[in-house]
Amino acid sequence: MADLDPARIPHHVAIIMDGNGRWAKQRGLPRIEGHRRGVETVRRTIETARELGIRYLTLYAFSVENWRRPEEEVGGLMNLLEYFLKRETSTLIKNKVRLLTIGRTADLPAGVRRRLEQTIEATAGFTEHTLVLALNYGSRTEVLDAVQAYSAAVAAGEVDPAKLTWEDFARHLYTRDLPDPDLIIRTSGETRVSNFLLLQAAYAEFVFLSLYWPDFSKDAFHQAIADYQGRQRRFGRTGDQLGQASPQPPPLPAGSAS
């Protein structure tokens, strides 16, 4: 297990959970079995994040592009999501973990939406740890939705477009109540971000792992954090300006969660 500095644990970790299907194929199993094993990894990852003191954990669970997969697989994924919520809500409550979602969740099946609403409501009072599920999420659709929302605010006379700042625009993103990610992890050996948090990741550190998501262990999580802690985050400044210290990220937009 990697030796970590408790004072430098990332505030927000986001993970692109990739490789369930390939994990299953290597073992001669149906793809849905890879997704089932991936759900077990989600449980383990949430617990590890809480143990490490990570305040925000965002998991890329279903993208807007994933609807293109075979209907049987999409249906299986939705069933697994509903099952996960049914089984894990009590654990989230016990561990005081708040659930939030980002994405066009209104397009999800009714049963899934119902479970999400129930779990979100049941965990709404918790503030120490937050689990964010990116569901029917895509960064480009997020930007389109934010532009529409901002345009409506302009039309209503609520904002002045001549005075637009990033902080003003960010209030219309799905992530308006979240800090930007400090670290983004992707499993499966792929080295792309796949339309995930493109704007929010402007200053994030990235760790790409060759293992598939079902094999993402507690030790692998610790190693990714150790990699992150070995980097110097400069946010536009020089190394000489910082010395050996690692600077804090830019402040959150007004109204965001701390």
Q: How far apart are alpha carbons 102 and 138 in whole angstroms?
A: 9
CA dihedral of residues 73, 77, 83, 84 (deg, nearest 10): 150
- Cα–Cα distance, 252 to 175 (Å, whole number): 11
Instruction: Please confirm, yes or no, whether 66 is among the known catalytic residues.
Output: yes
Residue 69 counted as an annotated binding residue: yes
22 is in an annotated binding site: yes
Q: Answer yes or no: is 195 a known binding residue.
A: no
Give, to the nearest 10 degrees, the angle between helix 71-94 and helix 31-52: 30
In the set 18, 136, 180, 182, the catalytic residue is: 18
Instruction: Provide φ and ψ at 91, rounded to 5°.
Output: -70, -40
Contact 189, 216 (CB under 8 A): no
> Is 19 annotated as belonging to a binding site?
yes
- DSSP conformational letter for 13: E
- Residue 65 marked ligand-binding: yes
What is the three-class DSSP state of 185? strand
According to the annotation, is 21 in a ligand binding site? yes
**Catalytic residue selected from 3, 5, 66, 219:** 66
Q: Does 171 belong to an annotated binding site?
A: no
Catalytic status, residue 136: no
236 labeled binding residue: no
The reply to whether 186 sits in an annotated binding site is yes
Active site residues: 18, 66
Q: Which residues does the annotation place in the binding site for substrate?
A: 19-23, 31, 35, 63-65, 67, 69, 186, 192-194
Q: Which residues does the annotation place in the binding site for Mg(2+)?
A: 18, 205
Q: Which residues does the annotation place in the binding site?
A: 18-23, 31, 35, 63-65, 67, 69, 186, 192-194, 205
